[in-house]
């Protein structure tokens, strides 16, 4: 045991013993920089329960200037002078956020061997950092990152009742489908709705008494259909109002025209006869000119046919000349053609990469009813699968109601 003054670290404790080589040193540094940090006023989650153990440490044991980060940095700087006087330097840390900056400090200082580990006692977590300047020491690998086990998400489901299945089977028979079993009937209607929506689907192997479909949604077609339907309903609501107003206006105009025509008939009964007499020749002229128009058009077509044939011959001559001259400069068209083929080949690949989501749909019996499950696989947003599930359920109910 070596007595040292306050705020003494490694250098003052080992400066007189120059020949002794120690195996390791351990340090449990003061974790906190001030009392607020010690109480966890700013860092502790309010939902977290209070610590079950009583804090028995003194002020010098739990608090230091700069907290544990600065305290361990000073030990690192002392180790850079002592170097191989100790085989291993180690410190315990109370905060995970202190681990990364201290490892970075050791990397900057060029320390060759660095490792870390973690301790877990009940709800308490602590971390240990160790480093050495010896090349022959075996460095234990740090603990691998433990990935949190993702809870299996429940599938989105909806139930097709037995009475609904019977109605669907009647409609399926009317359409000439061979579906007899309840599962096949529901599967057939689901496939039809997905096809109408242009949602890609294919059957995949599954267990007994169920049918599985792998669904890939490329575009959000079900929302567009709902939007169009809302617009149609809105237009139907607005159209009757407009037609009533227009009908009233038309009736008023007709009544006014009738009253005006009656007055004019009483005042000038002979003017109409004279006007009719004058208009009759004009009508005959109009009819005759109309009768002559087809003949004129026929003659025009006869004159235009030789011109069209001449134009075609001229164009054929130009194309043949173009082909002949193109033999001298073949690379340009071939390059353009190759570019087009490359673009055409690339476009399907690009479209297959872009999708909204993918899911696995299972149709299986649940007593007398049929259960439809949609299991999320991957994609942009899980809510999109929920929308499609709601759309499928509503469409099946509408089929029965119609």
Binding residues for S-adenosyl-L-methionine: 28
DSSP, residue by residue, 128-196: EEEEES-SSS--PPPPPPPPPPPPPPPPEEEEE-HHHHHHHHHHHHHTT----SHHHHHHHHHHHHHHH
Instruction: Copy the structure tokens of residue 281.
Output: 């020749």
56 φ/ψ sector (left φ>0, alpha ψ -120 to 50, else beta) = alpha
Burial 43-60 (b: 16+ CB within 10 A, else e): eeeeeeeeeeeeeeeeee
CA torsion sign, 313 to 316 to 320 to 322? positive
DSSP, residue by residue, 269-288: TTHHHHHHHHHHHHHHHHHH
Strands (E), 267-368: 357-366
Q: Which long-range contacts (CB under 8 A, 24 or more apart) does 56-61 make?
A: 60/6, 60/30, 61/30
CB 186 within 8 A of CB 370: yes
Cβ neighbors of 6 (< 8 A, separation 6 or more) are: 60
Give helix then strand counts, H and E, for the chain.
11, 9
* Gap between the Cα atoms of 11 and 77, Å rounded: 10
Instruction: Copy the structure tokens of residue 155.
Output: 């599938």
Q: Pick out the residues of the known binding site.
A: 28
């Amino acid at each position: 045991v070596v007595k040292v003054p306050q705020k003494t670290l490694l250098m003052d404790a080992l400066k007189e013993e120059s020949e002794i080589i120690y195996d390791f040193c351990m340090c449990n540094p003061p974790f906190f920089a001030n009392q607020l940090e010690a109480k966890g006023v700013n860092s502790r989650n309010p939902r977290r329960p209070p610590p079950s153990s009583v804090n028995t440490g003194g002020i010098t044991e739990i608090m230091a200037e700069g907290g544990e980060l600065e305290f361990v940095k000073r030990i690192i700087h002392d180790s850079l002078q002592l170097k191989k006087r100790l085989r291993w330097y180690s410190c315990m840390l109370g905060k995970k956020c202190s681990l990364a900056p201290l490892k970075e400090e050791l990397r900057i200082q060029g320390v060759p061997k660095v490792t870390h580990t973690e301790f877990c006692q009940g709800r308490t977590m602590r971390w240990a950092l160790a480093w050495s300047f010896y090349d022959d020491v075996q460095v234990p690998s740090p603990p691998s990152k433990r990935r949190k086990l993702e809870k299996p998400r429940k599938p989105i489901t909806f139930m097709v009742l037995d009475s609904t299945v019977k109605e669907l089977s009647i409609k399926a028979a009317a359409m000439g489908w061979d579906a007899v079993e309840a599962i096949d009937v529901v599967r057939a209607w689901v496939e039809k709705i997905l096809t109408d929506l242009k949602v890609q689907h294919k059957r995949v192997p599954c267990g007994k008494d169920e049918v599985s479909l792998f669904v890939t949604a490329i575009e959000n077609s079900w929302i567009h259909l709902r939007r169009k339907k809302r617009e149609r309903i809105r237009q139907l609501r607005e159209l009757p109002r407009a037609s009533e107003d227009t009908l009233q206006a038309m009736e008023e105009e007709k009544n006014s025209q009738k009253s005006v025509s009656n007055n004019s008939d009483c005042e000038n009964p002979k003017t109409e006869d004279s006007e009719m007499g004058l208009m009759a020749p004009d009508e005959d002229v109009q009819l005759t000119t109309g009768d002559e128009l087809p003949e004129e058009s026929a003659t025009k077509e006869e004159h235009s046919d030789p011109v069209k044939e001449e134009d075609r011959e001229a164009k054929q001559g130009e194309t043949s000349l173009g082909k002949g001259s193109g033999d001298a400069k073949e690379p340009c068209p071939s390059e353009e053609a190759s570019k087009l083929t490359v673009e055409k080949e690339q476009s399907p690949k690009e479209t297959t990469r872009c999708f909204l989501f993918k899911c696995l749909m299972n149709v299986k019996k649940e007593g007398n009813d049929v259960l439809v499950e949609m299991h999320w696989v991957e994609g942009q947003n899980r809510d999109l699968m929920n929308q499609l599930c709601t759309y499928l359920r509503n469409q099946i109910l509408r089929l029965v109601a119609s």
